[in-house]
Amino acid sequence: KENYREQLKYLEKIEKIGIDDSQFYIKYGYCLMLLEQYREAISKFEKSLELEEDTYPISKICFCYRSLGEYEKALKYCLKAKSFGRDDAWINLEFGLCYKELIDFEKSLEHYLRAYEDERYSFLLLEISKIYNILDNYTESFKFLTRVFEIGEKNRELYLEMGKCLTGLVRYEEAIENFLKARKLSLEVESSTYEEDKGLAYCYEVLGDNEKAKEYKKLSNKWDCK
């Protein structure tokens, strides 16, 4: 029923009674993880590992440390999981996400592409396109973004990345269309439009529409001040 708070009450009672079972601590850790109590989850997964070494709790510790923003520690557990034989899409995605945050984009892309060999869901495709955008490889980025448009939900992040990609491909009118769609979605949730405004200002300036370029530059400066 996905009622993790109620589940937690019973897990706590069982632990107080006393139990020495690795699977119990995996369930306990997983429950805490879903409640975003990551440090507590790590402690339970570690108890499971004390009783029986397995790639599953190791991988979950990796996820928890990444969720806490502790990417070096997350990588340590990713590598441990790999040393135990885990080399699937999930662990390679974890590697890729950690390396991205550590600004090692080449390694991030390497692991994303390994994950892509096994899984082709929209989140992974979008992550790959982001790295290609960062590395200025807009042709490859466009290929992956096109696939996301075919299979995934059209959201602000997707339109924004497509705007950046099309700008790099010197397709400014199309880039503007995507930046405007991303901007509209940002405004709907009262979120920052800084990136969209910056992209629009650049595209309009290149196209010689100085009035609109100034308008969006002014709007992006407003977010800079915040």
**pLDDT tens profile 77-129:** 999 999 998 999 999 999 999 999 999 999 999 999 999 999 888 999 999 99
The b-or-e profile of 14-24 (16+ CB within 10 A means b, else e) is eeeeeeeebeb
CA distance linking residue 85 with residue 94, whole number of Å: 15
Sequence-ordered list of residues with C-beta below 8 angstroms from that of 146, at least 6 positions apart, any chain: none
Q: What is the mean pLDDT of the chain?
A: 94
Alpha helices (H) along the chain: 4-17, 22-34, 38-51, 55-67, 71-83, 89-101, 105-118, 122-134, 138-151, 156-168, 172-188, 194-206, 210-225
**pLDDT tens profile 2-26:** 899 999 999 999 999 988 899 999 9
**pLDDT tens profile 162-191:** 999 999 999 999 999 999 999 999 999 999
The b-or-e profile of 56-89 (16+ CB within 10 A means b, else e) is bbbbbbbbbbbeeeebebbbbbbebbbeeebebb
CA distance linking residue 102 with residue 108, whole number of Å: 9
36: left (phi over 0), alpha (psi -120 to 50) or beta: left
pTM of the predicted protein model? 0.89
Residue 224 has pLDDT above 70, yes or no: no
The number of angstroms, rounded, from the C-alpha of 105 to the middle of its chain's C-alpha atoms is 14
pLDDT classification of 45: cutoffs 50, 70, 90: very high
